[in-house]
Amino acid sequence: MIFESHAHYDDEAFDGDRDALLRSFKENGIDVVINVGASLKSCVSTLELTKQYSFVYGAIGVHPSETGELNEDNFRWLKDCCASEKVVAVGEIGLDYHYDEPEPAVQKKWFERQLGLAKDVGLPVIIHSREAAKDTLDILKYADAGNLGGVIHCYSYSRETAREYLDMDFYFGIGGVITFSNAKKLKEAVEYIPLNKILLETDSPYLAPEPNRGKRNSSLNIPYIAKEIAAIKGVDYEEVLEVTHDNAERLFHINK
Ligand code: NI
């Protein structure tokens, strides 16, 4: 079975067919989905989805690009959300320097605070890091995030940076980008990262793999990602599904 470790089914892209799509997962071999919060609003809808569907678990957190909306009051509210039974991680949190809003100082402040939150509530972290490799690593090391456990979602850095995350015992979320013909650096990193440190993810509705690149993404596309990883690592497709399923269960403390 497939463990989908990162999706956003609260996104309006699914407003027309959300229920039918989610209900089709089991017959398509998908038995666990982590719906990942990215803003205060999406944390509310993530909690709703975890209540509605037995196989949906949640991550609570605010994406770096949305950290401008955080203050002490809603930060306390975020912590309360983490107490909900099916919340298994704090995320997605991190740094994104692709856009310059909010400024790096604001992103860093709330990244550190949300790492502290993860420590307080005893949950692993889901990290978003874009064009911010060094600052992300420095902050994670300073926060001793290796002890929290976590995954670098949509891993996009080099093999050398992968070594640093492996030293922290982190996992690597691999999604649709691995199927793109220009993803040479990522393919090299995936060749290097042990299979027992890889999680399958889509980041739906974004980043659909080939041959569906550019269309709305969903967890139904995970087989394309898993087949590419199997080819790169020279192992069976089934082995990729099994090992990554075990990995995600271990990280998020879910027994299926
Ligand atoms: Ni995401």
Task: Provide the mean pLDDT of the chain.
Answer: 97
pLDDT-derived band of residue 256, with 50, 70 and 90 as boundaries? low
- Joined tokens for residue 200: 């399958």
At 255, the pLDDT band (50, 70, 90 cuts) reads confident
Phi and psi at 41, nearest 5°, equal -60, -45
Cβ-count burial 164-199 (b if 16+ within 10 Å, e if not): bbeebebbbbbbbbbbeeebeebbebbeebebebbb
Separation of CA 234 and ligand 1 centre (Å): 28
92-125 pLDDT, tens digit per residue, is 999 999 988 999 999 999 999 999 999 999 999 9
The angle at the Cα of 53, spanning 73 to 12, to the nearest 5 degrees, equals 65
Question: How far away, in angstroms, is 72 Cα from ligand 1 center?
Answer: 24
- CA 106 to CA 69: how far, in whole Å? 10
CA of 154 to the centre of ligand 1 (A): 8
pTM of the full structure = 0.97
* Residue 37, pLDDT above cutoff 80: yes
Q: In the chain, how long is the greatest CA-to-CA distance?
A: 50
Q: Pick the closest to residue 155 from 123, 191, 181, 118 (CA basis).
A: 191
- Backbone phi and psi for residue 59, each to the nearest 5 degrees, phi listed first: -120, 135
In this prediction, residue 49 carries a pLDDT of 98
Rounded to 5°, angle at Cα 246 from 241 and 252: 120
Range of the domain at 36: 2-252
Q: 246: CA distance to ligand 1 center in Å?
A: 21
Q: How many domains does the chain have?
A: 1
Q: How far apart are CA 195 and CA 172, in angstroms?
A: 10
Is residue 94 a contact partner of residue 67, using CB atoms and an 8 Å limit? no
* CA of 105 relative to ligand 1 center, distance in Å: 22
236 Cα to the center of ligand 1, angstroms: 27
62: CATH: 3.20.20.140
Within 10 angstroms of residue 214's Cβ, the number of other Cβ atoms is 8
Sequence-separated (6 or more) residues with CB below 8 Å from residue 83: 121
* Span from the CA of 38 to the centroid of ligand 1 (angstroms): 7
- Please tell me the distance between residue 8's alpha carbon and the centre of ligand 1 in angstroms: 7
Q: Over the stretch 164-219, which tens digit does the pLDDT of each residue have? A: 999 999 999 999 999 999 999 999 999 999 999 999 999 999 999 999 999 999 99
pLDDT, one tens digit per residue, over 56-95 is: 999 999 999 999 999 999 999 999 999 999 999 999 999 9
